[in-house]
Structures are given as C-alpha cells and as structure tokens.
Amino acid sequence: MSSILVKNGRLIHAQGQQNLDILIQDDIIVEISENIAPANHTKIIDAREKWIFPGVIDPHTHMGIPIKSGESADSFASGSRSALHGGVTTILDFTVLEAGQTLKESLTHRQKLAGEAVCDVGIHINITRFEPDLLDEIPDLIASGYNSFKVFTTYEEAGMMLTYAQIEAVATIIARYDGILMVHSEDNETLKSASEAYIERNETHPRHHGLSRPAESEEIAIGKLGEISKRTGCRIYIVHLNTSAGLKQALKYPLLKIETCPHYLLLTDDAYEQKDGQMYVASPPLRKLEDKNALWEAIRKGKIDTIGSDHCPFCLKDKKPGIPFQEIPNGMGGVETLFPTLLAQFVQRDLDLSLLVKMTSWNPAHIFSINHLKGTLQPKHHADLIIVNPEALSDVWEAGLETILDWNAYSSQPAIFPEMVIRRGELVVKKGAIQDPDFGFLVTTPTPSV
C-alpha cells in the first residue's frame, strides 16, 4: 500500500477554506484533519503556504474528433498530458456517431481511444441522428453508467442537427431515466438567415464567422430548450453559453444548467481583427465586451454552474489564412490553461476561490453523477488534488506548456500553474513538470437502483 501525507496546506473547498492535512492511501483519501501523524514509509509533502484544490473536472473536451476536412489536433494521449499539467485530473469527452453506428458502438470505439489517456476520462454520448432504434438504447446506456447525452440545434449541413420536436422526444426519455441532456444551443434558422449574404459574397475574413452567428441565435434556442425542460422535466445542460441575452434567458428555467468557457471570459470578438484572427474561430463565436462582463458578474453571483474548456485544438497549418470563413475549422485548445488562467483571474479580481472550486470540480461532479468518486477533497473519494503556490502568478508561461500545439489563445493572459498534481494518489506533476503517469481510469456513473 502506497501512502502520501500532504501537510500544512490551505484546503480550498466548495464550502470554504481550512488548514488541514490530507492522508492518501493508494488512490483514495482516507483522512483529512489537523496534525495527522505520518506512519512508517509514508511520503510527506509539505504544502506550507500553498493552496490545495480538488483536481479539476473539465466537462467538455474533444480529443481527436473530425472537424471539416480534418481532425482536432490532440489525441487522448497528448491532450491528457496537457490536462494533467494544468491541473485537470478528469476530462469528460464525447462519442462520435458515425453513419450506421449504434450509440453503443460509438461508445465502445470512444472507450478504446480513451484508453490512451493519462488523466481519468468520462464519456458523454452524442446523438446526431434521430432514429427510433437509437432512442431505444438510452435506458440501457444510463443503466450501464453513461447518463449524459448531447444534441445539436444546428449543424444541419453536417447532418448533426435535431429539430426541437426531436430534441423534446429525446429529453422525454432521458428525464424518465434520470439522465441529463446537453445541448449546443444556436438556433439553426437564425444562423442560416444571418449567413446567407456573407456566403454569397464568399467572405474570408474571420470576423464574418461571428457576424454569421448572431447572439440572438443563442437566446432563441435557449428559450425553446427551457420550455422543453418545463414540459418534460428533463435537466438540460447548456454547453458553452456565451451571451448576456442567452444568460438572461437560461436563468428563467430552473432545470437548465449553465456552462461557459474560458474564451468567453478572457477574449472578445476583437481577436478576429488580429493577424492570426482565423485561429480564434470557434463555435459559438467570441462575443462583445458587455457579454464577457455579464458572464463574470454571473460568476460572482454564483449563477454559472460549470466552466468547460471546449478543448478542440488546431495548429497553425490547420487554419490557413484567406479561406472562406465557413470553411475554417471550428475550435481552440484550452484544457491545459483552463484552471491556471481562471485562478489568476480570481486572484486579480479578488473573487471567492470556493466559487472556482464549485464550477471546476464540485458542480461538474454532481451534475454528471460522478460525485461518488470525484469533485471534492473528502475521505473515500479519489485522491485528485492540485497544490498551488499563490505567489507563482506569471505573465510568461507559454514556453513551459506540455502541449504538442504550436498556437495558444491565452498567451497574453496571466496564469498560475500547479506546482504539484496528484491523480488518484499518483504524483503526476512535480515542481511544475509532468512526470511519467500511468494510464487513466474510465469514470462511469453508479448503476441506478431498481
């Protein structure tokens, strides 16, 4: 039995802060209290004057998925190393439903790919076709430990969209079996109408990506999804919320959960005017300063449930300048910088660090029903934790990234990277450097009681 004792640190909980020791045996926290005495052969980590956070759960990543004519640039192997370096000990990724596949077949394929990861991995199930046989699979998938499903209100041209009536049918089944429905929320008709003129003129500037996906598309979609949640009783998780209007709409509906992303908190649509503006193309697009400010105010008030990276990275060669804006691959990297950049913002804005823990650990664990293992520093839970030197805020950190990528959206932002990261009792980051971690653990939800 391996044993680690973390002493003298300041534990940052979802409920507050305490100076306590943490005793870890194998992969589990076994005791948290004051002045724990070490047993023989226990490795001692002195965390004096350091902050200790639960390992981050990134609820929204896309490792190696098809986008336009290529794939996102990170595999599970490379992306998960980056994740650990930034303090993300668990990622929740998505299946890709290919033509002719069942939902179970798409899950089995994704599980195999996720076996290369060195952080722990949970999997959401994409439903990008509406067929009775696919819907019939939902109860068995929930019973087998996969209770989160995602649909899209747009991407009709890619064959991924479900109509609102179809989404309501899916939501009805998911609610019956106590699952959760994730939705990419941009109204397709609004996007089509806004895009037509720019497409006809064969526009290439990346600013037209944002102009072709107006803010009202989110507001309209969320309003319709809110009414679906009321009629079906289904919990609906709005992924990557990005506008003040969409936020106001979402807060009207108690069954809606709200995720936003670092790019909507740290960047605005001014980025499209930069020389590398095409690299900032992601969907939904970057928004105005007032949208960014509204999201920060909602965070301060505890109105945002989670922050996910929507990690879908590309290298410079993947987004060549001058191509029509609608052909630019959508997505940016962010799993490695998710926690370090947000922590720096919380420190500089003098925000309650417990709010950061809620959005990056506690809430995603509870929303996606993995809180029996993840999301907190408590006995009987996985020993996933981050040790941070609060004095280590830096504006020059890009060269130290673990990523295989050659472009980063956040290099101008301050960050505080972890000094140590422990994933299920294994020290995977030491003195800020990735070690040689074992493979990750496939995280599933508990089997529902009959």
- Whole-structure pTM value: 0.97
- Reported as a single tens digit per residue, the pLDDT across 363-399 is 999 999 999 999 999 999 999 999 999 999 999 999 9
Closest by Cα among 418, 414, 415, 413 to 433: 418
User: Are 157 and 191 within 8 A, CB to CB?
Assistant: no
The single-letter DSSP state of residue 270 is: G
- Evaluate if residue 213 carries a pLDDT over 70: yes
Measure the CA–CA gap between 99 and 159, rounded to whole angstroms.
10
User: Are 105 and 99 within 8 A, CB to CB?
Assistant: no
First to last CA, the chain: 35
- Reported as a single tens digit per residue, the pLDDT across 5-35 is 999 999 999 999 999 999 999 999 999 999 9
- Region 184-193: mean pLDDT is 97
Closest by Cα among 386, 389, 364 to 377: 386
Pairing of strands 385-388, 51-54: antiparallel
What pLDDT does residue 447 have? 74
Q: Please give the radius of gyration of the chain, using alpha carbons only, rounded to the nearest integer.
A: 21
- Region 183-203: mean pLDDT is 94
Measure the CA–CA gap between 221 and 186, rounded to whole angstroms.
6
- Evaluate if residue 110 carries a pLDDT over 50: yes
- Reported as a single tens digit per residue, the pLDDT across 218-272 is 999 999 999 999 999 999 999 999 999 999 999 999 999 999 999 999 999 999 9
The β-bridge partners of 3 are: 25
Give the pLDDT band (50/70/90) at residue 69: confident
- Evaluate if residue 449 carries a pLDDT over 60: no
Instruction: Tell me the pLDDT of the chain averaged across its residues.
Output: 96
The β-bridge partners of 382 are: 28
Give the pLDDT band (50/70/90) at residue 70: confident
What pLDDT does residue 450 have? 42
- Region 315-326: mean pLDDT is 93
Contacts of 401 (CB under 8 A, 6+ apart): 82, 85, 336, 337, 408
Pairing of strands 43-46, 433-434: unpaired
